[in-house]
């Protein structure tokens, strides 16, 4: 059974003439929070990064010790040496991570360094 969001997306394409047989619902990347239940965010001067923390993908992480800001990291494959400005919180399932991210600012960055968002993943962004 499709949830309301999935049905909306399928209707969007069907209404524009896409053959429904060509549509595939992957059931990923749709992070609706049930009943709108979220933890209220509080202001904090920190930056949160969530996702795959493998240094081959997130090469910039090797340089975040040079930045004067607190970083909260969430995700798999974190192997870097500890920096005084980094706190690693572990990995959480996609439907649980929104409740962990309740302070500071979020960052989406896949550059090879802290100066520019370049490289294969950075260019994709």
pLDDT in tens, 32-91: 666 666 667 788 899 999 989 988 888 888 899 999 999 999 999 988 777 899 999 999
Q: What pLDDT does residue 89 have?
A: 94
Are the CB atoms for 4 and 35 separated by under 8 Å? Answer: no
Are the CB atoms for 117 and 50 separated by under 8 Å? Answer: no
Residue 120 is given by DSSP the state H
Residue among 83, 79, 58, 81 nearest 68 (CA) = 83
Residues, the chain: 125
Q: What pLDDT does residue 28 have?
A: 62
Residue among 90, 91, 83 nearest 60 (CA) = 83
How high does pLDDT run on average in the chain? 81
Q: What pLDDT does residue 1 have?
A: 46
Is the per-residue pLDDT at 30 higher than 60? no
Q: What pLDDT does residue 66 have?
A: 92
């Amino acid at each position: 059974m499709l949830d309301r969001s999935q049905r909306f997306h399928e209707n969007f394409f069907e209404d524009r003439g896409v053959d429904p047989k060509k549509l595939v619902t992957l059931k990923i990347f749709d992070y609706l929070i049930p009943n709108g239940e979220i933890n209220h965010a509080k202001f904090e001067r920190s930056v949160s990064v969530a996702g795959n923390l493998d240094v081959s993908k997130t090469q910039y992480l090797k340089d975040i010790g040079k930045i004067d800001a607190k970083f909260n990291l969430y995700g798999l494959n974190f192997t870097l040496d500890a920096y005084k400005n980094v706190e690693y919180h572990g990995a959480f399932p996609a439907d649980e991570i929104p409740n962990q991210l309740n302070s500071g600012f979020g960052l989406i960055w896949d550059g090879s360094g802290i100066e520019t968002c370049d490289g294969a993943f950075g260019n994709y962004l």
